Amino acid sequence: MTEATSVPGEAAHEPIRVLVVDDQELFRRGLTMLLAQDTDIEVVGEADDGIAGTELATTLAPDVVLLDVRMPRRTGVEACRAIKEAVPSAKIIMLTVSDEEGDLYETVKNGASGYLLKDSSIEEVAQAIRVVNEGQSLISPSMAVKLIDEFKQMSKPDKQQSTALKLTERELEVLRLVARGLNNREVAKELFISENTVKNHVRNILEKLQLHSRMEAVMYAMKEKLLDLP
């Protein structure tokens, strides 16, 4: 495990503390070096498998974890679930070569806030770290299409109807806008409410549905036929 020296940013805010978990050493070290160039991001540790990553996340309590899907000893999906249980505040971004719908769905279901392919640029990775740290969700555009397809499959009429969800009308409005890809600021503008109010609504939605992330909440809502897709 290596630790990077904190570099003070221009603003008064502390840098985003990031843990990198990937079994490919050259990729992991290269990513760490490139991220170190951003003054608002600090790589606080590295791990080369899912178990070590979970242990390090528990010790360091990072803001964001970059996690590979395919790793020895413990898969990225298993590590994602374990890290969210141990450090609920940590946001997880899957950074992987896998473009399989199953991997995308399983990681989102287990608490991932982001899903990026390894052909993403370092600027895209850094921006994803900032976005999920603020409580948003982000996935690679090519994977977003597959996620929408998954929504449509889940909302087909032959799916069994579950118990109605106890969301308020305002929470349903927020959820529908989140499903359209709007961030908290855009939702606030659309509904003429404050951004903090939107954050509270999103938190309440996740608590009521007993889910981990915005993307997972939208998937669940599609399954319950609360949202309509074209």
Residue 89 maps to which CATH number? 3.40.50.2300
3-state secondary structure of 1: coil
Query: What's the whole-model pTM score?
Result: 0.65
The Cα 64–Cα 125 span in angstroms is 12
Same structural domain, 66 and 95: yes
Residue 45 · residue 60 · CB < 8 Å: yes
In a domain, 8, yes or no: no
Establish if 200 belongs to a structural domain.
yes
Domain end, chosen from 89, 124, 147, is at 147
Domain count of the chain? 2
Is residue 192 assigned to a domain? yes
pLDDT at residue number 73? 81
Q: Which domain holds residue 86?
A: 16-147
Co-location of 20 and 120 in the same domain: yes
Q: Could you read off the pLDDT of 151-206 as tens digits, one per residue?
A: 555 545 444 344 345 778 888 888 888 877 778 888 899 999 998 999 898 888 88
Number of residues written out for the chain: 230
Which token pair is 173? 């409005």
Task: Tell whether 2 is covered by a domain.
Answer: no
Domain CATH code at residue 173: 1.10.10.10
Same domain, yes or no: 132 and 212? no
More confidently predicted of 186 and 227: 186
29 pLDDT band (50/70/90 cuts)?
very high
Residues 203, 111 within the same domain: no
> Is 111 found in the same domain as 21?
yes
Are residue 85 and residue 55 in the same domain, yes or no?
yes
Are 124 and 32 members of one domain?
yes
Buried b / exposed e along 17-49 (16+ C-beta atoms within 10 A) = bbbbbbbeeeebeebbebbeebebbbbbbbbbb
**Whether residue 76 is found in the same domain as residue 168:** no
| Same-domain pairing of 20 and 131 | yes
pLDDT band at 5 (very low <50, low <70, confident <90, very high): very low
Q: Do 24 and 95 fall into the same domain?
A: yes
Please tell me whether residues 142 and 106 are part of one structural domain.
Answer: yes
